[in-house]
Amino acid sequence: MDYKMDSGWRLHPIGGDTGQAYMGTRAEERVFLKRNSSPFLAALSVEGITPRLIWTKRVGNGDVLTAQEWLNGRELNPDEMKGKPVRDILHRIHHSENLLKMLQKVKGELFNPINFYNLYVADLPDDLKSNSVLQQVTEYVKNSIASIDDSQKTVCHGDVNRKNFLLDEEDRLYLVDWEMVKIADPFSDISTLLVQYVPYEEWGIWLEQYGLRMNDSMERRLEWYSLMVCLCMIKKSHSQGRNVEMNQLILLLKKLYQNRLNSYL
């Protein structure tokens, strides 16, 4: 339902998974409004990674609204997710010392491999628990946690999918929806993109173009996070009743698990 703020802005829900996003209108003005966004948004705006932050306001019920410039644009299609603009923006985020310092300053959540594993096993439905393939992979990732070098931590978006990329009318690319931002291994973001949008046979090319010279430690991290991402996406597809997608992910999971000892290069 639309409602009016003290300053005369009217809020019109525009969908999304969280129900927290609105188009704000006042006279001829339009802005993108979101309730209770991450305080990290200001740093992202300064870096030009998200649309420009205009103002932040606390409203009567205690919610904090952030207003960003309204941009006419579109989300990316699956093929575009493999391209250079997406690689470049992820590389920039993962290698920004300034963004890392700012996220640490606002007490960004620190994620280790065990945290990703715990997210998957929490409230796992019985039929997924009893699936033999998922059982085998879950046991493998659990037993592998201690061998994963998680010393490298960077800013990670946490939800790399095409709907969170905005390409405006001037072909400027932005990454939005930072509610799942965390300080984590960048391979968690990279694996999320690869699993969803890049054929397995092209992973090596993508990693090289991203700028990685893979070593044994990196390959183990990529392997682990790719399996973990698959498991979590299977759980999400199951909860949303997307069975075709879930079965496709299980097939990919089996392929990744069977090829886990092979080099990605």
Q: What is the pLDDT of residue 31?
A: 81
pLDDT of residue 92: 97
* Contact predicate 119/232, CB 8 Å: yes
CA 93 to mean position of chain CA atoms = 12
Give 208's contacts (C-beta < 8 A, 6+ positions apart): 265
| Domain positions in the chain | 3-70, 74-258
CA distance 243 to 59: 41
CATH classification code of 74-258: 3.90.1200.10
Angle between helices 113-121 and 216-239 (to 10 degrees): 20
pLDDT on residue 15 = 63
Task: Pinpoint the alpha helices (H) of the chain.
Answer: 41-46, 84-94, 97-105, 113-121, 126-129, 132-144, 186-197, 203-210, 216-239, 243-258
pLDDT score, position 265: 43
Q: Is 221 exposed, middle or buried (0-12, 13-18, 19+ CB in 10 A)?
A: buried
Residue 152 in 3-state DSSP?
A: coil
Give the position of tokens 């007490």: 107
What confidence score (pLDDT) does residue 6 get? 52
Q: How much is the pLDDT for 1?
A: 34
Report d(CA 223, CA 194) in Å as an integer.
11
Could you please state the CATH topology (level 3) that the domain comprising 3-70 is classified under.
Phosphorylase Kinase; domain 1 (3.30.200)
Active-site annotation, residues: 159
Residue 96 CB neighbour total at 10 angstroms: 18
Tell the residue number behind the tokens 């998974």, with chain if given. Answer: 17
Q: What is the pLDDT along the chain (265 residues), one digit of tens a residue?
A: 344 455 677 777 776 555 577 777 787 778 887 876 778 999 999 999 999 999 887 776 777 778 889 888 999 999 999 999 999 999 999 999 999 999 999 999 999 999 999 999 999 999 999 999 999 999 999 999 999 988 889 999 999 999 999 999 999 999 999 989 999 999 999 999 999 999 999 999 999 999 999 999 999 999 999 999 999 999 999 999 999 999 999 999 999 999 875 644 4
Cβ–Cβ < 8 Å for 92, 99: no
Question: How far from the centroid of its chain's Cα atoms is residue 94's Cα?
Answer: 12
